[in-house]
Homo-oligomer: A and B are copies of this chain.
């Protein structure tokens, strides 16, 4: 992997996108903004915040009120992460189907490497419930902040602080510059929108083939997501997968049509007596 000189750092810092989902307490949004600015981060996305804009947010933001001004407010997580090529979700507890997991330090290193070339989203959930399974399954990786098993729920703003800090530490420790992720590769990586569209397409086809029960894809689609989310596909690879799917759909369409025609011919040639 080649490396870039540290003077590209500001670009890297600008490519970290902190995404807060369904935040209940506006004070936490302000605290998160401050934590971000303290570490040199800028991009704040808010998905359906309960109470925003708010004086409470401005107060807790202190010298980072400008981040609140430029924060992007959206209604769905898809809108917040769709154009990102790496999405890391915070996870407080083990899930039934384990997801590729990074420590905060590994997150810092990876995020610093990848923000050399593209936006990286870090997704935080609700104060009481974290992220839903569906939200977590949109991520390439999860990150867990190790904590006291007897009391492991961090305040939202302080969680943002820890991960922002690890990003900054990785930037400072990259003495020879950051490794440039995907630099030795021959195709650009995909973003979340492209992948989500593929999953939709795939699920419909698998239901049509009878491989999945319509409306009840259960664990199979989750495991498929996990496989493809962790492999970090490039655009040509995704195009190949799409092409394979399309050739299956074309086959289905072609044979459905032919069967229909033959059945109509059969009916014509055997009129009822």
Contact = CB atoms under 8 A, between A and B. Distances in A.
Interface of A: 97-98, 101, 184-186, 206, 209-211, 220, 223-224, 226-228, 230-231, 233, 236-237, 240, 243-244, 247-248, 251-252, 255, 258-259, 262-263, 265-266, 269-270
With most chain B CB atoms within 10 A of its CB, the pick from A98, A237, A247, A258 is A247
A77 B152 CA distance: 50
Given A210-B247, A220-B240, 13 more contacts: A98-B186, A206-B244, A206-B247, A209-B244, A209-B247, A223-B237, A226-B237, A231-B231, A255-B255, A258-B259, A259-B259, A262-B266, A269-B270
15 contacts: A97-B186, A98-B184, A98-B186, A101-B184, A209-B244, A209-B248, A211-B243, A220-B240, A224-B237, A224-B240, A226-B237, A227-B240, A230-B231, A266-B269, A269-B269
A248 B248 CA distance: 7
Q: Is the interface of A mostly helix, strand, loop or mixed?
A: helix
Contacts of A231: 227-228, 230-231
Contacts of A270: 269
B255 A211 contact: no
Specify how many copies of this chain sit in the oligomer. 2
Nearest to A103: B1
A249 to B, nearest CB: 10
With most chain B CB atoms within 10 A of its CB, the pick from A97, A228, A240 is A240
A64 B265 CA distance: 77
A123 to B, nearest CB: 20
A206 B246 CA distance: 11
B266 A255 contact: no
Nearest to A209: B247
Contacts of A223: 236-237, 240
Contacts of A184: 98, 101
Contacts of A243: 211
Q: Which 8 A-B pairs have the closest CB atoms?
A: A262-B262, A231-B231, A211-B247, A255-B255, A209-B247, A269-B269, A227-B237, A98-B186
Contact of A251 (B98, B186, B209, B237): B209
